[in-house]
Amino acid sequence: MCKIVEEIVNEAREEARREVAEECARKMLATGKYSLEEIMDIVCLSLADIEKLQEEKRD
């Protein structure tokens, strides 16, 4: 039972980290001051993830 709870906590933690990283990336994209590579390095998302966020911004 303890392992299941630990897995749930770890998944929730990773999801929260990703949400924060995506929000930071969106803000950085909005400024237009950062290259995709800089954003990738700073927020630790893949280039594909950042490009997806960039496309969402355009829609």
Read off the pTM. 0.84
Quick: pLDDT tens for 26-55: 999 999 999 999 999 999 999 999 999 999
Please check whether residue 27 is in contact with residue 39, taking contact to mean a CB–CB distance below 8 angstroms: no
What's the rounded mean pLDDT across residues 14-30? 97
Show me where the domains of the chain are located: 2-58
Note the pLDDT of residue 1.
65
Note the pLDDT of residue 21.
98
Note the pLDDT of residue 53.
96
C-alpha dihedral sign at 35, 40, 42, 45? positive
What's the rounded mean pLDDT across residues 14-24? 97
**The tokens of 32 are what?**
């237009």
Looking at this protein, which amino acid is placed at residue 43?
Answer: V
pLDDT of 12 strictly over 90: yes
